[in-house]
Chain A
């Protein structure tokens, strides 16, 4: 390739380009069940404004690239979580927000109805610990996911 290129042309492969584009325009399916859902709302609201990272909330899994599981998942909810995940189109990513979604959190012991971690049901890409995590921690989790998307799964 000895052709001289003008400065406004960049050569790249198609796949990294798509991944780069996706990482800056993640359509999020906010699935908040409990307390962590409140912090997820706070992240989307006035002060923290998650939309500046290109994360746009969509109410249906069929339009989403990312599912954020925020809150406790119970045995009654588990089949529905799986079904919602399966409705998403690939490439799809999952963020588990809060201790309950990671391991059952405070409801891990002496309980009969709580699923001990959403990764028992679906594959999780990024875990954000905390009970509930601070909005800054949630934003950091989203940035980690962007990095992961850029690198490829």
Chain B
């Protein structure tokens, strides 16, 4: 075998398939990767520092911009952490609305990730199809709160407004429309010979490595670990619904895409159950003061975002502004496995790996 001189190559920070502003410093031997080092921080907007000079309510719009493909889930994680700190109860109807919007947003986020992972392998059609369905969900959210991407919908003790007229019917219509589409996607991308060849046995992550690197979400579940906070530590009203946790076998890129696809099926199941059993009543706890001053103390709460375990740690000094907010972002831990799994692969496989990890730089760099 001919030994060539090793070459350093920068993938990014401006690269069409790094899903944002990731820079990977790759050491190459021919086309083989010898070493890959991700360099982050190109979108560091100091979210945590800004929060120290905002009131608790004013932080909610900033959580929208953390993990922008799934803003509702970020709202939910932050609101639930503050509610845990201040001991606020949430009406039953609001909990159901929160579950519905969180699951709709999970589908929207997975659609984006699924379509983009196809586009990274050269399959442009699936990307357009996924966006067609994503627009349907975005329309539902627009009906709900007027925004397409940054919703700012959740409040402490509930949601900002009740479900609009016709929302439940339209969401049911979406579920019926979307269920056959999932099978279509499976045929389009996962059973596609070219994509299977590109993604199967690429970027294999072992179970024990995934656990020691703190990976979570579809990346962890693709390795065969059945860990989902919706089942393991049920928050909100998730224990009232019947759904499965899909797991993969090999932990390769194909399995990650497969887990995301199955999660979309399960999310539709949850939404359908929630729409059937949604109770009447208040949508917002009216006892919550306008200027919230939680008691002195600290709290950590984590929920299952589309990317994994999303947690917020808040320290309160008794004033109306948080003393410290720390976000535990799942995509950051998931991204840290790139140096582990990419050596020995081809440079084109690195693109598939980045796509399958589904990084979102709003929350990685914060």
Q: Are A132 and B132 in contact (CB under 8 A)?
A: no
Q: Are A111 and B49 in contact (CB under 8 A)?
A: yes
What is the number of residues of chain B that contact chain A, defined by CB distance less than 8 Å? 34
Q: How far is the CB of A73 from chain B (nearest CB, A)?
A: 9
Q: Are B45 and A47 in contact (CB under 8 A)?
A: no
Interface stretch of the complex, out of B14-22, B87-95, B349-357: B14-22
What is the number of residues of chain A that contact chain B, defined by CB distance less than 8 Å? 34
Instruction: Assess whether A76 is interfacial by the CB under 8 Å rule.
Output: yes
Q: Are B132 and A35 in contact (CB under 8 A)?
A: no
Instruction: Assess whether B69 is interfacial by the CB under 8 Å rule.
Output: yes
Q: How far is the CB of B156 from chain A (nearest CB, A)?
A: 20
Q: Are A47 and B42 in contact (CB under 8 A)?
A: no
| Cα A86 to Cα B68 with chains together (Å) | 30
Q: Are B148 and A134 in contact (CB under 8 A)?
A: yes
Q: Are A38 and B50 in contact (CB under 8 A)?
A: no
Q: Could you tell me which residues of chain A, from 58 to 91, have a CB within 8 Å of some CB in chain B? A: 59, 71-72, 74, 76-77, 80, 84
Q: Are B13 and A77 in contact (CB under 8 A)?
A: yes
Q: Are A76 and B135 in contact (CB under 8 A)?
A: no
Instruction: Assess whether B343 is interfacial by the CB under 8 Å rule.
Output: no
Instruction: Assess whether B46 is interfacial by the CB under 8 Å rule.
Output: yes
What per-residue 1/0 map shows which CB atoms of A25-53 lie under 8 Å from chain B?
00000111111011101100111000000
| Cα A60 to Cα B342 with chains together (Å) | 25
* Given known contacts A33-B20, A34-B361, A111-B49, A74 and B14 CB-to-CB distance under 8 angstroms: no
**10 A-B contact pairs sorted by A residue (CB < 8 Å):** A35-B149, A38-B69, A41-B131, A74-B43, A76-B41, A76-B42, A76-B44, A109-B50, A111-B45, A112-B49
Give the interface of A toward B (CB within 8 A). 30-35, 37-39, 41-42, 45-47, 59, 71-72, 74, 76-77, 80, 84, 106-107, 109-114, 131-132, 134-135
Complex A-B, nearest 6 residue pairs according to Cβ-Cβ distance, in ascending order: A45-B131, A35-B68, A46-B132, A59-B16, A46-B128, A46-B131
